[in-house]
Amino acid sequence: AEVDVAVRSSATVEDSAMASFAGQCESYLNVHGTESLIRHWKRCCASLFTERAVSYQIGNGLDPLRSSLAVVVMKMVRSDLATSGVMFSLDPDSGHQGVIHISSSYGLGELVVQGSVSPDHFTIWKEGLRQGYEAIVHRHLGAKDIAMVYGGQGAALTESIDVTSARRRAWSLNREEIMELAQMALKIEDHYGQPMDIEWAKDGRSQDIFIVQARPETVHSNKEQAQLIRYTMPEGLVKKLKDSGALLATGGAVGTRIGAGRVRMYKSYEEVILKKRALRNRISAGETLEEIPAEERVFDEGDVLVTEMTTPDWEPMMKDASLIITEKGGRTSHAAIIAREFGIPAVVGCEDATRKLKPLQEVTGTCAEGDTALVFEGIHPFSIETSEIDLSQKLDTKIKLNVGFPTKALADSSLPVDGVGLARLEFILTSEVSVHPLALHFYEELSDYAKTGEIAPELMPWDEVIEKAGQEEIRFLVGAIQRRTAGYANKRQFFVDRVMEGVGLICTAFHPRPVLVRLSDLKSNEYRELLGGNIFEPVEENPMIAWRGASRYVDPTFLPAFDMECDALRLVKRRLCLDNLQLMVPFCRSPEEGAEVRQLLADRGLGSEASVPLFLMIELPSNVIQGDDFIDAMELAGGSIGSNDLVQTVYAVSRDDLENYKYHVDARSPAVQSMIRQAVQTFRERGIEIGICGQAPSDYPEEIPAFLVDCGISSISVTPDTAIAVRQAIAKAENAKRERNAPRLQDDDRASA
C-alpha cells in the first residue's frame, strides 16, 4: 500500500564542519503516490542550483559544480497530530557544552525551523542526565500560537492553524518526553563525537518520538577559544535609556552582541524581489547607486533588517545586517541560526516590531543584557572588548562572578573564574516569578474573597488592607496572577519551579565550580512592586535598613514565603543533584537571629548535614565586631563582604542618598576599609573562607583589588564585564605583594642561618 512520505534533500556539502548549509536545498512533506514522488525528487535535485544555494557555496569557499546531492525518502511522522522541534547538544547561544537545549511546538517542525512560531524551550544538564537524574534545569513557556498541519498532498498543501489558548498555556512536552529526547541527543553526540544540531518529531498516532535529521553544530564548534569578545554599553546607559522612554521593543536575545543602524523593514521576501528589480532597472538606465536616495535602495551594509520572519532566501541580505529583528521565532529559528553563523546580533519573537519601528529609523539593539534583547531609539555608543585569556599565572586569590539573571549564566561561565560569589535570588523573583510569594501561597484564599467578600482566617494579618482594596481590586489581582502562572493549577508550585529552575541553571552553568546563592533580600518597597505586593507589604520610611533579609525569615507572617524558597532550593540539591550549591544569609543583625535562620534551614533539609555550606553576608558593623560569635552560632563555612551596604551602615547614610553628600564616602573610605580588614582577619584566623561580593572591586578595579589582596582575602567576586580587568589587577597586586615580602623572607633566612 502507498504511504505518505517526506522527500528530503541531503547534499554532500551540507552540514560540513565549516558551514551548516541549513535550508539551502528543498525538502517536501506529505508526498503521496509514485508520480508525486518522482516530481518532488526532481525538485530536490534542482534546488542545489538555486541562486541562494550557489551564493552560499561560493561564500563558504565551495565549488557548486563539485557538489552532489542525495534524496532521502522517509515515511512521514504524523507530528501534525502531536509536536516537533529542534535540539542542540550544547547551548546554541553561548556554546556551553554542559547542557542540551530543546525547542518544541505543536504540529510540523517547519514553523520552529523557520522561526514562524515562538516554541517552548527546555535546558537539560548533561552530567546529571548521565548519572540518571531528572536534570531539567530550565523551562520557558513559548507562545505556540500557530501549528502547521497537513492540508492535502504536497508541501504547498500544508496549512497553519491557530492553537487554542488552553494548549498555548500548556507545555508541549511532558517531563518523560523531555528526558527521552535528551537521552537521544546524548547518544547522537557520543556517536559522532561532537556537538550536534538535531531535528525531531513525535508521531501523534503511535506516540513515538523520531529523530529526522542530525548534523554537526557549526557555529560554536568553529569559534576561536583563545579569545573572549564582549560587547558592552557604557555603565548606566541602559537604565538611562529605559527611564527616558527610548526603549522601543524587546524580544529574545540571540548571542551577546550589540548592533546599531538604520531600519530596513520588509513584510515578505517578495517585497525585496520587487524592489531589487526596480533598482536594477534604474541602474540599467544609467543611474549610479550613490545617486539613488537611501529610502529607495534595498539594503546597505550595516542596516538593521526588520521583518516578520526569515527564510533561506533572506541570507545574502542577512549577512550584511548589523542587527536582525523578527516578529516571530525562537532561539532555534532560521533567523537565530543564521545570525549566530554570521556573528550578528538578532532579536527574535519581537512582537509588533513592524508596527513599533519605522523604516529608516536609527536604532540600537543589545543582546548583551541577558535573555531579553532591548531595542532603543537612536544610535548609542557601545564597546567591543577582545581579550586574550592568559591563564598561565595561577592566582592565590580566587575570582568569582556576581550573577543576576539565570539565562545569562551559560555565557558568563566561559570566563576564567572560580565560580559564583553572589547569585541574587531577588533577580529570579522579579524576572522569573514577578508575583509576591504570599500572593501565590494564599491564591485560593484571595480568589475566595474576590467571589464572596469574606476574608479567610489565614488572611487576617492583612484584613484592613484587603478590605480597603475591595473585591474588585482583588478580583483584578487574581486574574493577573492566573495569567502570569498559566499552566499551573497550584500557584505555590509555580514559585517553587521558577526559583528551582533559575538557581538550577546558574549551578549547571558553572558546575562543578561553587555557586553561592544569597537568600532573598528584597526590601519592602521592592516587594510592593510585585503582583500583590501592595497587599502583603508595609509602607516603610526607610526600607533599606528595615524589614529585610534574616529578619523576614524568622517572622511568622513571612515564613510561608520562606518555606517556598527553601522547597525550591532543596529541589536543586535533591532532584537536580547539583552539589555545588552554597547558601548565604543577608542582613543578619545578631548571632541569635543567625542561629535561628540556621536552624530553619536545617529543619528544611538545607543544613550542614545535607552538605549545603552556609555563608554570612558581612554588611553590618555587628557582623564584623561579633564575627567570632556569628561563626559559632551559625556554624559558618564562610563569609562574603557586601561592601555596598557596609558603606551605608558604617557611615549611617542610605545607599540611595550617598551621591547627595558633600563629603563623599564609598568602599575606599578609611572606616570601611578598616572594617573589611578586620573581617578578613577574623575569618582567616578561624580557617574559613572570606570573600567580597559587593560592587567595590568592579567599580574601582585599579584600587580595591590591590587593597583586598594585601588584606589576604580568599576570593573577590565581580560583575562579568570587569572580570578580565580585575583578574589582571589581582595578578599585578599579588606579584607586588611577593616582591614586598621577598626582602623580609631573605632577612629571616639570614637570621636563622
Sequence-separated (6 or more) residues with CB below 8 Å from residue 542 = 654
Q: Determine contact, residues 88/195, Cβ cutoff 8 Å.
A: yes
Q: What are phi and psi of 595, to 5 degrees?
A: -65, -40
User: Is 437 exposed, middle or buried (CB count within 10 Å of its CB: 0-12, 13-18, 19+)?
Assistant: buried
- Residue 595's CB is within 10 A of a number of other CB atoms, namely 17
- Residue 242's CB is within 10 A of a number of other CB atoms, namely 12
Q: Determine contact, residues 164/38, Cβ cutoff 8 Å.
A: no
Q: Determine contact, residues 253/91, Cβ cutoff 8 Å.
A: no
Strands 304-307 and 323-326: parallel
User: Is 393 exposed, middle or buried (CB count within 10 Å of its CB: 0-12, 13-18, 19+)?
Assistant: exposed
Sequence-separated (6 or more) residues with CB below 8 Å from residue 297 = 279, 289
- CA dihedral (78, 83, 86, 90) in degrees, to 10, reads -130
Q: Quick one: which H or E segment has residue 452?
A: helix 443-452
Q: What are phi and psi of 298, to 5 degrees?
A: -85, -55
- The closest of 375, 415, 353 to 258, measured between CA atoms, is 375
Rounded-to-integer distance, Cα 356 and Cα 42, Å: 43
Rounded-to-integer distance, Cα 672 and Cα 295, Å: 58
Number of alpha carbons in the 13 Å side-chain half-sphere of residue 623:
33
For residue 746, give the 3-state DSSP assignment: helix
Integer angstrom CA distances of residue 678 from 459, 460, 585, 621, 627: 45, 46, 20, 11, 9
Integer angstrom CA distances of residue 638 from 119, 603, 621, 713: 42, 21, 17, 12
- All three cell numbers of 168, joined, read 498555548
Whether cis (ω within 30° of 0) applies to the bond prior to 406 is no
Angle between helices 591-603 and 559-574 in degrees, nearest 10: 60
Integer angstrom CA distances of residue 366 from 311, 371, 383: 23, 11, 12
Mind telling me the catalytic residues? 334, 693
- All three cell numbers of 571, joined, read 529541589
Integer angstrom CA distances of residue 592 from 321, 620, 626, 634, 644: 60, 15, 11, 9, 24
List the Cα angle 569/573/579 in 5-degree steps: 125
- Residue 3's CB is within 10 A of a number of other CB atoms, namely 8
Integer angstrom CA distances of residue 747 from 710, 712, 728, 743, 752: 20, 22, 30, 6, 9
- All three cell numbers of 236, joined, read 548606566
Strands 362-366 and 372-377: antiparallel
